[in-house]
Structure 1
């Protein structure tokens, strides 16, 4: 006899803003947030969140509303997250380095009528209001004063003492539109929900930073609009302290001073920023022994950079792999697996996160055996519910219930995952698949190369051929011929790039990544021909 189950009696879940409520009650005098010489306790923070929420509610914000935010990191930006959650509305933060027309697109896509704009960006408010005349602008405090319209600081000050309850929300109630970086086409809004994010936070605590509590403190070195915002939400869930850099300009020396001063225990970053931190002289001048977890994501870390970070910081590195659509929850490589040499499983991004299942699939959706490269797909409670108002993108992103990451990789027999690159990064030269990540790892073992990007460009004879763009260490002298000859004894002939260019730096996104599209755009700007000359005298042609 088959059992009959009823639909759930209730799908209601905790509103994420309740963490602020809880901390204000239990940890009222504990420091919640530090920015420069200013700090706020949890009681003060929660009071400001309620005052902010009251001001937004008076302007019509509630369940189903979206609140667009364009700001550098600040206490008001972080408060706006909780104020929006508290009202059951959806937070829509942008990367402050976007162009005005890109923010207008996000405003249109998210249908936001409230725009929290930092006073440093009046041209963004003008562009959004020109395109959407009904938009209500509230100015967040920035380095440049702005008196045209209501300021969040005034609205909050006038409403301190208001108590705004946390709105009732369901598991699938949207709380955050996380816009993708738009590497292919326009950015898409990944819908993150209260139920999903509650799982994400618990998963991060279990897999990335076990033992975290209110005695911990975290340094923010990345924009709160994306991964760093998720990380600081995790800190808030445990009543831990958040510390911002004094300005948006990154300073390794300032970072280490803050770690030492506040005895901070963790931070979230990306490999390029972590590389800058451990290569800076200040790493040897300040006490960073309080650090227990240095979490990095966004890209795998090259082995040479990882080894230096381990040497300078000790066994504190934690890598996680995952897209915004899965809120980082695909795999984890904890401190005990960050080892130098063969024991460290060079190149892996770890094993499956708790509650997440990973499948490496071929183009038809069949799971591939261990060791074979295919598309990385995932299922689990951390996977988003879909893209907002984009059925075509949703149809492409899911297959048989699996979220398709678009990343290529393979899994070994022990369950460790290895990335070989984005599907869009792979190129085919002379009929052979070439994975740039593999070549980049190898080139970086050359002592004079500190950064590299390999990509394929169209070629009439071979379809595509490889190009390597390298950044040399200060004082190093290396020619294209010398590097190609060095590669010839370490890389299969058909994989060796056909041209090498040396630049002072690689172009980076607002999140510190090196998107191949930016490198390709810069190559075009510098006049590199689409038809790359085949240097047969240096390297045999692909076959």
Structure 2
């Protein structure tokens, strides 16, 4: 049976006593966690039916995690919402998803008590294609797009992770990022499925995290670049384990610095997306061998680089198409999930890149953001990666404005202490003239989507106001 909770009963029987899940408020043994997920499933089935959706404000609390597991067992769809959303943003997503239940942050404790007082159920959904998790991607416009994931897709990604990463089974997962984010929810689900002990931090406080890493004999920590930057500033990283990095924006130099300074906290990185799961991954050795790549392909993944219907050879840049058993179930359209997949099973999220002769994937940027300046294709992410190498830059975003001679004139808006003249001189050493921003502006802040990415449409409007 393919259900992401299907491994819980055996572990509850074979290792009932040691702690399994630990949060600020509660600690659960394997047996207690199995019991709580049965109670959460029982509660959901008492108020609705399999196939329905529960949305909630996803704070890093045990109640949210047990509702996630209970929903998966009950055949429900779990939809976590970012606690930092405005009321309007939250209401828009609830209108689009029309969940059976919505639980606000102030009701979590009450629901936790209701679950504790509910009789456990032995029911467990056996539909491997059922949507157990639904989230939203924002893209460049900030308009939310609801996607769905099946049990089968995540279990296949668990299996790929167990194959690709040298885990012993004795690790403790440290989840310090917000579990409304699919990376951290995935990390928690992987731990629960594989039997790793799990420590769920309420918030990301760097000194609390470093203390946990010291006290944990063997850890697995999931992180995005900003988290690792904050941890490095503490200069207090000890302990032994794995760090799984995801998310664009960390330079090859900073990754190499981590690998050199913290050899016991082995840095692995994976490229993927909410729609794709794992696509490729980097090992500590790869940071020396292929520092600017996105690594070798994950187990079970096929890739083709295409230009239209043509499959391109190694070294040529085109659209990255992915084929694997880990793909999502599609975006919501007319109350069902649809995906625009090719007849041969390949799918793209629109990333541009190439495969090199050694089988390493290189991601250049998102095709929909590509600019054409003076007849040359320029990806903003490629330029931003160079600018972000400068120590005085906090954030950088590149876009274009109309130019009668060039077609598009590349411009950069950034935050940080450095002045534009110095930054321009620095960047000139790393970029060809065609890719160099022609205008620069230091700003107080940059526009972001609710997922923390640069809001490209808003950025272009901002650039027009600043430069025109």
**Fold similarity call, TM over 0.5:** yes
> Could you tell me which residue of structure 2 aligns to residue 132 of structure 1?
none
Q: Which moved more, 1:258-267 or 1:508-517?
A: 508-517
Pick one of 477, 484, 497 that aligns with 2:437: 497
* 1:410 has 2:354 as partner: yes
| Residues 310 and 504 (structure 1), Cα distance of their counterparts in 2 relative to 1, 3 Å cut | farther
The Cα shift of 1:299 comes to 1.6
> Could you tell me which residue of structure 2 aligns to residue 330 of structure 1?
279
The answer as to whether partners of 1:361 and 1:374 remain within 8 angstroms in 2 is: yes
Q: 1:251, 1:507 → 2: CA distance?
A: 25
The Cα shift of 1:177 comes to 1.4
Show CA shifts across 1:57-77 (max 9, x none).
1112x3211111222111111
| Residues 505 and 221 (structure 1), Cα distance of their counterparts in 2 relative to 1, 3 Å cut | farther
Structure 2 unmatched ranges of 5 or more = none
Q: 2:221, 2:428 → 1: CA distance?
A: 40
Q: 2:364, 2:376 → 1: CA distance?
A: 15
* 1:227 has 2:169 as partner: no
The answer as to whether partners of 1:360 and 1:410 remain within 8 angstroms in 2 is: yes
* 1:54 has 2:9 as partner: no
Q: Which moved more, 1:95-104 or 1:69-78?
A: 95-104
Structure 1 unmatched ranges of 5 or more = 1-12, 120-138, 142-150, 532-543
* 1:433 has 2:377 as partner: yes
Q: 2:68, 2:47 → 1: CA distance?
A: 16
> Could you tell me which residue of structure 2 aligns to residue 302 of structure 1?
251
TM superposition score normalised by structure 2? 0.91
Q: 1:189, 1:511 → 2: CA distance?
A: 13
The answer as to whether partners of 1:17 and 1:166 remain within 8 angstroms in 2 is: no
The answer as to whether partners of 1:409 and 1:420 remain within 8 angstroms in 2 is: yes
| Residues 442 and 107 (structure 1), Cα distance of their counterparts in 2 relative to 1, 3 Å cut | closer
Q: 1:412, 1:307 → 2: CA distance?
A: 21
Q: Which structure is larger by alpha-carbon Rg, 1 or 2?
A: 1
| Residues 391 and 64 (structure 1), Cα distance of their counterparts in 2 relative to 1, 3 Å cut | closer
Q: 1:510, 1:35 → 2: CA distance?
A: 26
Q: 2:320, 2:334 → 1: CA distance?
A: 22
* 1:40 has 2:8 as partner: no
> Could you tell me which residue of structure 1 aligns to residue 153 of structure 2?
196
The answer as to whether partners of 1:317 and 1:338 remain within 8 angstroms in 2 is: no
> How is 1:8-47 mapped onto 2 (pairs within 5 angstroms)?
13-36=1-24, 38-47=26-35
* 1:238 has 2:167 as partner: no
3-state SS of the aligned residue for 2:122?
A: coil
* 1:101 has 2:88 as partner: yes
3-state SS of the aligned residue for 2:94?
A: helix
The Cα shift of 1:498 comes to 1.1
> How is 1:384-533 mapped onto 2 (pairs within 5 angstroms)?
384-389=328-333, 394=338, 396=340, 398=342, 400-449=344-393, 451-472=395-416, 478-503=418-443, 511=451, 513-517=453-457, 519-520=459-460, 523=463, 527-529=465-467, 531=468
The answer as to whether partners of 1:270 and 1:512 remain within 8 angstroms in 2 is: no
After superposition, the CA RMSD in angstroms is: 2.6
The Cα shift of 1:444 comes to 3.8
* 1:156 has 2:124 as partner: no
3-state SS of the aligned residue for 2:332?
A: coil
The answer as to whether partners of 1:397 and 1:405 remain within 8 angstroms in 2 is: no
Pick one of 51, 65, 79 that aligns with 1:64: 51
TM superposition score normalised by structure 1? 0.79
| Residues 483 and 183 (structure 1), Cα distance of their counterparts in 2 relative to 1, 3 Å cut | closer
Q: 1:393, 1:463 → 2: CA distance?
A: 39
The answer as to whether partners of 2:399 and 2:463 remain within 8 angstroms in 1 is: no
3-state SS of the aligned residue for 1:277?
A: helix
| Residues 507 and 335 (structure 1), Cα distance of their counterparts in 2 relative to 1, 3 Å cut | farther
3-state SS of the aligned residue for 1:325?
A: coil
